[in-house]
């Protein structure tokens, strides 16, 4: 027998319940029997125990059955109430018997009130047994039940009449001429016969509910009837007196009936170790006895008649009549059973054909495994599902078609299933791999049921479903473009690395990688080319890491790598090693990419973070992300190791950004203006609007500080809108106050084209405040490669038609300045302050600045030098042809009060000019007239 066959072999469960109460019941009954056998020591005690002892036992049975009937609900409740009434009648009869013998000291008269109570004992018990019986569902069943009862009762009546009842009736008629004694002498045995008939007939038809209690109650009534039968015999009744051994039978019957409901309830409690029910083995025997009951009854009836014939006596008419009715009942019953069997056979054949069609036509494979693991039946669907004929599988071992790697799990699950109680787990589901006819392994899902000690398996092929689930799982954990692990799987791998056997290894590192310049690839040659670049970058990254490491794509142009630790104790050496790995990755990813016919170059910024004790995966990945952003901020195309100061910087920026949002809502921003001075005369030609933030703590932040925190998001856009509107409003107020000086506002090209700044917003602002033409200057920064020059050109042309002057801010830095000069409608060039700072010390910068100013002059554009802080810069720039300057050499940013005082003065001292003439600021702003190349309006 195989291991699986040994597993399927049935197991027996041992154990008993209610043993203590059964022992106590046996001790009490045995004690009463011993006392009755020895005569209780005295005649007086024997009479008391024989009368009131029996009455007490019957009363206990009556109370017990009544309390149980009150405690339970269901169809059997009336039966226990009737048993209680029957026991009460027996208790009253014994009490009356004791009244005569013990209290009055006289013999019990015949008949007496005790006989009435004793005769009332049988009818409630008979009706109670009818309630306990399983009710037939058809008329034929009811008829068979009545016939079975008469077969048993008639047979017993025939036998009893032949043996004793006829003689008893004759003696009663001879000794007493009255009818009552004769009827009483026959009433007891006849009622006992009826009761015995019901006990025998209903024993095989009892209901399945609380079977143990019913069996115990039937046994108690059977013991009582047996004692009654012995008592009614003429030989014993003439010599009987209370306290004899016969009383022990009645006593035990009453106590057994009292024990029946409660003791059976204890026995019905589930045992700690499940096992098959014991009654299963006895069911075939019980069924056989039930089938033989009519024939046994007829045989008993025949024996009663033969007894009279063999004894040479004349056969009594009662015996003949009863025997004839018994035979007739047997014939009728057999006829009914024959018709019922024919109907059942036809119905069974129809159902068998129906289920055979279902099994053979099912797409699932149905298999039956014997207790030894051998396949006894396989449905024809096996040919289509497994590619193997059903006949070829029958007789083989179930374990022979299961994958060896799945056999252990299959056996474990079957062992657990068979050990579980059937009512708690009637079925289970197991997935494993079966061998097909081609030798391939199919994923099969089987529903397993118990079947005659073996297994019934309903199996279906789920190979496609398993493949689809595996594909869905792969798609859920991998990037669809590069097929690298995605963020979810990468996080799980990091968590596994930090929590596994290497959890304390500080050499485990996470690398965050960002491709510098990838957005330009998308903007210049298209997103399809960008996707191809990402695929190649992912392939390079995958080929560069070790077999135990993990390369992943987190999204966009961000990649990551998990470098597992090697147990090195020297942290410095490990950091150097990982830094070398990261640097090689940077060089690999920075190599040219072949995209179609052209080569594309991008760089890689890499941040590295090492595992620390008790660090979480989220914190480790955050540290690597911070290091990567520090690498990008430090110039890109580099590797940066995480340091705790990075987190502190992030916290500081986050707090500053939070305060910035509050400042925008609560109006903590102030507008300052820095004068733009004509380098030839010192007059104030315009003012440049600048925002300052004075926080609630009194800290004054410059634009470079808070704009770096706010970044390119909605807060910066909101701040830009506020700056433009406040600058135009204050410029209109100054013009009405007699200081019509032009104001310049710096806006990025992206802000001019964003959806939050519609084309009519600046126009509506100028119209609302009545600002004249040429009084507003927009300084445009062209450093954003995402901005479309076509859209920007259209926007600036529309603004110039309204009289808005356009300045190119940061001229001399960046790579798009020449293209902006060629395409955009520029009025003013504003030199970058990096050129101005070194124009005196550096001859190279001097030549570059001089050349740029020459270009501006040749194009007829005004020029403004930003960051003019010392007199030497003023002299050098004026000598080069720069027309205007802005910086600390003239004035810093001024609030509104100081600005108006400077505008009243109208000019600032300029180095190299001995006596500047006072000029009113309001007369120094010529309006926009003439062509674009001829405008004399000074820049901001």
pLDDT at 532: 93
pLDDT at 210: 58
pLDDT at 194: 57
pLDDT at 110: 73
pLDDT at 505: 66
Better pLDDT: 831 or 290: 831
What pairs with residue 512 in β-bridges? 560, 607
3-state helix, strand, coil in the chain (%, to 5): 60, 15, 25
- The answer, yes or no, to whether residue 540 has pLDDT greater than 80, is yes
Strands 742-748 and 776-781, by their bridges, are parallel
Q: Would you place residue 314 in the very low, low, confident or very high pLDDT band (cuts 50, 70, 90)?
A: low
Lowest mean pLDDT among 284-293, 357-366, 608-617: 284-293
Lowest mean pLDDT among 231-245, 706-720, 863-877, 893-907: 706-720
pLDDT at 805: 92
Lowest mean pLDDT among 71-80, 409-418, 799-808, 842-851: 71-80
Q: Residue range 604-632: average pLDDT?
A: 90
Q: Residue range 534-552: average pLDDT?
A: 92
Q: Would you place residue 566 in the very low, low, confident or very high pLDDT band (cuts 50, 70, 90)?
A: confident
pLDDT at 165: 47
Spatial contact of 134 and 302, defined as CB atoms under 8 Å apart? no
Within 8 A by CB and 6+ apart from 105, the residues are none
The per-residue pLDDT for range 591-604, each reduced to its tens digit, is 999 988 888 889 99
Q: Would you place residue 763 in the very low, low, confident or very high pLDDT band (cuts 50, 70, 90)?
A: confident
> What 3-state DSSP class applies to 685?
strand
Q: Residue range 761-774: average pLDDT?
A: 84
Sign of the alpha-carbon torsion through 850, 856, 857, 862? negative
Within 8 A by CB and 6+ apart from 716, the residues are 707, 710
Better pLDDT: 18 or 724: 724
Lowest mean pLDDT among 510-524, 683-697, 708-722, 895-909: 708-722
pLDDT at 221: 76
Better pLDDT: 177 or 61: 61
pLDDT at 344: 81
The per-residue pLDDT for range 659-703, each reduced to its tens digit, is 777 777 777 788 899 999 999 889 999 999 988 877 666 666 665
Secondary element (H or E) of residue 701:
strand 700-701
- The answer, yes or no, to whether residue 164 has pLDDT greater than 60, is no
- The answer, yes or no, to whether residue 938 has pLDDT greater than 90, is no
Q: Would you place residue 285 in the very low, low, confident or very high pLDDT band (cuts 50, 70, 90)?
A: very low
Q: Would you place residue 252 in the very low, low, confident or very high pLDDT band (cuts 50, 70, 90)?
A: confident
Q: Would you place residue 935 in the very low, low, confident or very high pLDDT band (cuts 50, 70, 90)?
A: very low
CB atoms within 10 A of CB 346: 10
Q: Would you place residue 174 in the very low, low, confident or very high pLDDT band (cuts 50, 70, 90)?
A: very low
Q: Would you place residue 234 in the very low, low, confident or very high pLDDT band (cuts 50, 70, 90)?
A: low
Q: Would you place residue 589 in the very low, low, confident or very high pLDDT band (cuts 50, 70, 90)?
A: very high
One DSSP character per residue, 63-122 reads HHHHHHHHH--STTHHHHHHHHHHHHHHHHHHHHHHIIIIII-SPPPSS-HHHHHHHTTH
> What 3-state DSSP class applies to 183?
helix
DSSP H helices in 111-233: 113-119, 122-132, 139-160, 166-175, 179-203, 211-231
Q: For residue 907, how many C-alpha atoms fall within 13 Å in the half-sphere facing its CB? A: 18
Better pLDDT: 131 or 595: 595
> What 3-state DSSP class applies to 380?
coil
pLDDT-above-70 percentage for the chain? 73
pLDDT-above-90 percentage for the chain? 18
User: What angle, rounded to 10 degrees, do the helices at 714-736 and 896-905 form?
Assistant: 40
Spatial contact of 660 and 717, defined as CB atoms under 8 Å apart? no
- The answer, yes or no, to whether residue 735 has pLDDT greater than 70, is yes
Spatial contact of 592 and 624, defined as CB atoms under 8 Å apart? no
What pairs with residue 689 in β-bridges? 673
Q: Residue range 130-134: average pLDDT?
A: 68
pLDDT at 768: 87
Q: Residue range 454-480: average pLDDT?
A: 89
Closest CA to 674 of 864, 830, 837, 899: 899
pLDDT at 347: 83
Secondary element (H or E) of residue 747:
strand 742-748
Q: Residue range 642-667: average pLDDT?
A: 76
One DSSP character per residue, 384-426 reads HHTSS-HHHHTTSBGGGGB-HHHHHHHHHHHHHHHHS-TTT-S
Lowest mean pLDDT among 126-130, 511-515, 737-741: 126-130
Give the integer Cα–Cα distance in Å for 238 and 924.
155
- The answer, yes or no, to whether residue 707 has pLDDT greater than 70, is no
pLDDT at 276: 44
Lowest mean pLDDT among 281-285, 372-376, 651-655: 281-285
Better pLDDT: 834 or 553: 553
pLDDT at 334: 74
Q: DSSP letter for 363, please.
A: S
Q: Residue range 613-631: average pLDDT?
A: 90
98-107, 187-196, 647-656, 856-865 — most confident range: 856-865
Does the N-terminal peptide bond of residue 111 adopt cis geometry, omega within 30 degrees of 0?
Answer: yes
- The answer, yes or no, to whether residue 93 has pLDDT greater than 50, is yes
- The answer, yes or no, to whether residue 758 has pLDDT greater than 70, is no
Q: Average model confidence (pLDDT) for the chain?
A: 77
Which tokens is 296 given? 């046994």
Exposed e or buried b per residue across 92-109, where buried means at least 16 C-beta atoms within 10 angstroms of its C-beta: bbbbbbbbbbeeeeeebe
Give the integer Cα–Cα distance in Å for 23 and 287.
31
Spatial contact of 861 and 828, defined as CB atoms under 8 Å apart? yes
Q: What is the pTM of this model?
A: 0.49
- The answer, yes or no, to whether residue 831 has pLDDT greater than 70, is yes
The per-residue pLDDT for range 380-432, each reduced to its tens digit, is 888 888 888 888 888 888 888 899 999 988 988 988 988 889 888 889 999 99
């Amino acid at each position: 027998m195989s291991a699986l066959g040994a597993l399927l072999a049935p197991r027996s469960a041992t154990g008993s319940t209610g043993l203590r109460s059964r022992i106590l019941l046996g001790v009490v009954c045995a004690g009463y029997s011993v006392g009755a056998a020895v005569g209780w020591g005295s005649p007086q005690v024997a009479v008391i125990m024989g009368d009131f002892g029996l009455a007490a036992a019957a009363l206990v049975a009556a109370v017990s059955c009544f309390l149980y009937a009150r405690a339970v609900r269901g169809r059997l409740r009336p039966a226990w109430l009737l048993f209680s009434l029957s026991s009460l009648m027996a208790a009253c009869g014994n009490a009356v018997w004791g009244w005569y013998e013990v209290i009055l000291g006289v013999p019990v008269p015949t008949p007496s009130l005790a006989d009435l109570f004793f005769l009332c004992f049988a009818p409630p018990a008979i009706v109670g047994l009818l309630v306990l019986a399983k009710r037939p569902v058809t008329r034929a069943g009811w008829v068979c039940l009545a016939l079975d009862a008469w077969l048993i009762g008639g047979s017993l009546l025939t036998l009893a009449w032949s043996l004793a009842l006829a003689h008893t009736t004759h003696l009663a008629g001879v000794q007493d001429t009255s009818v009552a004694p004769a009827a009483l002498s026959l009433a007891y045995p006849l009622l006992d016969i009826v009761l015995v008939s019901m006990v025998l007939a209903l024993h095989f038809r009892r209901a399945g509910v609380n079977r143990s209690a019913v069996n115990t109650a039937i046994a108690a009534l059977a013991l009582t009837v047996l004692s009654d039968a012995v008592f009614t015999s003429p030989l014993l009744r003439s010599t009987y007196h209370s306290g004899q051994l016969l009383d022990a039978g009645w006593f035990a019957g009453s106590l057994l009936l009292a024990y029946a409901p409660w003791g059976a309830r204890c026995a019905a409690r589930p045992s700690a170790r499940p096992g098959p029910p014991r009654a299963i083995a006895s069911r075939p025997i019980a069924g056989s006895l039930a089938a033989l009951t009519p024939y046994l009854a007829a045989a008993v009836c025949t024996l009663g008649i033969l007894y009279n014939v063999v004894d040479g006596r004349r056969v009594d008419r009662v015996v003949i009549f009863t025997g004839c009715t018994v035979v007739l009942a047997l014939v009728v019953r057999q006829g009914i059973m024959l018709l019922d069997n024919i109907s059942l056979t036809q119905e069974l054949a129809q159902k068998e054909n129906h289920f055979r069609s279902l099994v053979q036509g099912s797409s699932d494979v149905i298999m039956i495994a014997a207790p030894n693991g051998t396949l006894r039946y396989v449905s024809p669907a096996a040919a289509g599902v497994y590619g193997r004929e059903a006949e070829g599988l029958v007789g083989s071992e179930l374990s022979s078609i299961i994958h060896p790697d799945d056999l252990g799990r299959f056996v474990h699950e079957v062992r657990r299933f068979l050990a579980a109680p059937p009512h708690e787990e009637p079925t289970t589901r197991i997935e494993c791999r079966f061998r097909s006819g081609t030798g391939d392994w199919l994923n099969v899902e089987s529903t397993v049921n118990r079947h005659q000690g073996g297994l019934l398996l309903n199996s279906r092929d789920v190979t496609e479903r398993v493949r689809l689930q595996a594909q869905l799982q792969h798609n859920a954990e991998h990037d669809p473009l590069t097929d690298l692990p995605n963020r979810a799987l990468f996080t799980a791998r990091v968590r596994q690395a930090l929590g596994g056997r290497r959890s304390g290894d500080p050499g485990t590192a996470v690398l965050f990688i960002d491709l510098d310049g990838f957005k330009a690839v998308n903007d210049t040659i298209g997103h399809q080319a960008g996707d191809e670049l990402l695929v190649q970058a992912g392939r390079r990254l995958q080929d560069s890491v070790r077999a135990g490491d993990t390369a992943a794509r987190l999204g966009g142009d961000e990649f990551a790598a998990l470098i597992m630790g090697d147990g090195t104790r020297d942290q410095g050496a490990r950091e150097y090693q990982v830094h070398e790995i990261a640097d090689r990755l940077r060089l690999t990813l920075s190599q040219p990419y072949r995209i179609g016919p052209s080569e594309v170059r991008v760089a890689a910024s890499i941040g590295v973070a090492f595992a620390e004790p008790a660090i979480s995966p989220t914190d480790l990945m955050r540290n690597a992300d911070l290091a990567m952003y520090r690498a990008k901020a430090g110039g890109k195309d580099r590797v940066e190791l995480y340091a705790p100061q990075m987190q502190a910087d992030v916290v500081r920026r986050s707090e500053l950004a939070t305060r910035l949002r509050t400042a925008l809502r609560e109006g903590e921003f102030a507008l300052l203006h820095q004068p733009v001075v004509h380098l030839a005369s010192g007059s104030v030609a315009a003012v440049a609007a600048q925002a300052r933030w004075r926080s609630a703590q009194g800290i004054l932040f410059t634009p470079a500080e808070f704009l770096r925190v706010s970044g390119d998001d909605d807060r910066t856009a909101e701040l830009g809108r506020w700056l433009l509107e406040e600058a135009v409003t204050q410029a209109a107020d100054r013009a009405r106050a007699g200081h019509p000086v032009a104001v310049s506002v710096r806006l990025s090209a992206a802000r001019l084209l964003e959806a939050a700044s519609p084309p009519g917003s600046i126009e509506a602002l100028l119209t609302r405040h009545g600002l004249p033409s040429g009084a507003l200057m927009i300084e445009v920064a062209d450093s954003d490669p995402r901005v479309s020059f076509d859209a920007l050109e259209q926007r600036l042309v529309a603004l110039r038609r309204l009289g808005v002057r356009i300045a190119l801010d940061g001229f001399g830095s960046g790579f798009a300045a020449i293209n902006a000069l060629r395409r955009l409608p520029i009025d003013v060039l504003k030199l970058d302050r990096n050129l101005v700072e070194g124009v005196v010390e550096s001859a190279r910068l001097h030549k570059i600045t001089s050349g740029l100013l020459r270009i501006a002059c040749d194009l007829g554009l005004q020029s403004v030098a930003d960051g003019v802080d010392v007199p030497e810069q003023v002299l050098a720039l004026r000598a080069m042809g720069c027309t205007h300057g802005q910086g600390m050499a003239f004035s810093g940013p001024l609030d509104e009060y100081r600005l108006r005082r400077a505008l009243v003065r109208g000019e600032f001292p300029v180095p190299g000019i001995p006596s500047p003439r006072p000029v009113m600021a309001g007369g120094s702003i010529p309006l926009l007239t003439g062509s674009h190349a001829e405008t004399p309006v000074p820049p901001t």
